[in-house]
Copies of this chain bind each other. A is one copy, B any other.
Amino acid sequence: DLPFSIICGPCQLESLDHARMLAERIAEACAATGTGFIFKGSYDKANRSSLQGKRGLGADKGLEILSKIKDEFGVPVITDVHEPSHCAMAAEFVDILQIPAFLCRQTDLLLAAGETGLAINVKKGQFLAPWDMQNVAAKVASTGNERIMLCERGTSFGYNTLVSDFRGLPTMAETGYPVVFDATHSVQQPGGNGTSTGGDRRMVPPLARAAVAVGVAALFIETHEDPDNAPSDGPNMVRIEDLQPLLAKLRAIDTIQKG
């Protein structure tokens, strides 16, 4: 088993300075706790609840920022892609491509991502069972690229609510691919705020501890210095100052779980 890692960063990339500031503080928290660090940032939020939601910096600026963070901090970087034609472009700048949950059945996107040869983190659709991800992974693997990660991010449970079914983690692990738990989007309340998505960041630490106790390769957590004023997913992001103590506990649980 590899050392415990987090995929961490803001929801949206806001500026190079902002990304640098967060990357520095995340790197400190990871170093202090022996946690691996993969920097995450989105350059385009292509499926906001409403048109009023901010879309992001766009591919040019966003990918440049990710590339600089990668060089300056010496960490792998990940971003999400929404159309087949974006995969090759993004692949020139990042180490891992992420397939959004809503798009996890779009064959062309999975194939285009797989063909880049990068590692691919596929989020499980809110509408899919854990065992259905085998077919999703097979689409990527058909390109000859087996560097696949499967990511749980909550399942539809009534309206405007997701539930994290932790049985899904060992079930997805039966594919042989590493499993990631997204502790940020799992606490979303989709559409819960009328024209935006709500959530409850207080639930991130307990669900993160649960996931690590069940057993995961990595944890996906979004963080921000001022989540309540972040351009997206504010209700779900962890305050940057809360990250290190959370990681310390997660690391200790991970050691027991894998021990």
Contacts and interface: CB of A to CB of B under 8 A. Distances in A.
Interface of A: 46-51, 55, 82-84, 102-103, 105-108, 125-132, 135, 138-139, 142, 155-161, 163-167, 169-170, 187, 190-191, 195, 200, 202-203, 206-207, 209-215, 249, 252-253, 256-257
B215 A206 contact: yes
Given A206-B167, A257-B249, A156 B213 contact: no
A253 B211 CA distance: 12
Contacts of A50: 135, 138-139
A121 B210 CA distance: 23
Given A169-B206, A190-B132, A206-B170, A213 B253 contact: yes
B47 A105 contact: yes
What are the 7 tightest A-B residue pairs by CB atom distance, in nearest-first order? A158-B158, A213-B213, A129-B159, A156-B156, A210-B210, A47-B105, A209-B213
B51 A142 contact: yes
Nearest to A107: B46
Copies of the protein in its oligomer: 4
Contacts of A83: 83-84, 108
A106 B46 CA distance: 6
Given A107-B51, A155-B156, A157-B157, A129 B207 contact: no
B139 A105 contact: no
Contact of A47 (B51, B106, B167, B212): B106
Nearest to A55: B107
A170 B206 CA distance: 8
Nearest to A159: B129
A139 B55 CA distance: 13
Contacts of A46: 106-108
B215 A213 contact: no
Contacts of A48: 105, 107
A125 to B, nearest CB: 7
16 contacts: A46-B106, A46-B108, A50-B139, A55-B107, A83-B108, A102-B105, A127-B156, A128-B190, A131-B191, A157-B163, A166-B166, A170-B202, A170-B206, A206-B215, A212-B213, A253-B253
